[in-house]
Chain A
């Protein structure tokens, strides 16, 4: 696609429910990243993919968080048993490849605003 697409744009869920967030990166971008941005805060790294592999999962806050990527394209971030502290904007970004991001930049989607009530 022309840009990074994320869905849903907004999600309100009850505490304890599972949620799935989707990211469709720019076609041809092999690297995909997930970040979390809490209100008024900077970006917190969660996980990145090179192709379908996730070499660095150390940013995931807890074992309730998981992510996968299939076909080198779409990625889903799953949060199980959501808690109120999970409320944030979840941003996805892609780059041509790992290593190209710091030079050519990351293209971000508009994010999914998750509210846990």
Chain B
């Protein structure tokens, strides 16, 4: 089973600051997804990356897939309190327990 690690585990920053969170594995992933989960809700898909070296932007969020497709990063510019949540990366095989979720980075953006 492929495993995903995320860092940092917790991050608390002030509004307006920039931040980067990381998702790493020793395995190659055919695709990787990022989700954001708010308290009391299920995870919501932010992006899917499939090509090594791919960069995708979603407003103030920039996602990068590593060249070797073993790692990914999420950069947030000028963080806002609405960015607060649990950020999960996920990837792996097509289905079942071959598709795994990382433990998440819990982000708190203080006003």
Contact = CB atoms under 8 A, between A and B. Distances in A.
Contact of B92 (A55, A99, A102, A110): A102
B96 A56 contact: yes
Given A43-B101, A109-B42, A110-B40, A98 B48 contact: no
A45 B101 CA distance: 9
A104 to B, nearest CB: 7
Contacts of B30: 102
Contacts of B106: 40
Nearest to A111: B42
Interface in B2-57: 30-31, 33, 40-45, 48, 50
A79 interface: no
A99 to B, nearest CB: 5
Interface string A40-74: 11110100101000011011000000000000000
B102 interface: yes
B99 A102 contact: yes
A28 to B, nearest CB: 17
Given A55-B96, A56-B97, A102 B42 contact: no
The range of chain B's interface size is: 20 to 34
B78 to A, nearest CB: 26
B82 to A, nearest CB: 18
A98 B94 CA distance: 7
B41 to A, nearest CB: 5
A4 B100 contact: no
Nearest to B50: A103
Interface string B74-89: 0000000000000010
Given A56-B96, A102-B94, 8 more contacts: A4-B42, A43-B88, A43-B101, A56-B97, A58-B96, A102-B92, A107-B45, A108-B42
18 contacts: A42-B104, A43-B88, A43-B90, A45-B96, A45-B100, A48-B95, A48-B96, A50-B95, A55-B96, A59-B96, A91-B43, A99-B94, A101-B94, A102-B33, A102-B48, A102-B99, A109-B42, A110-B41
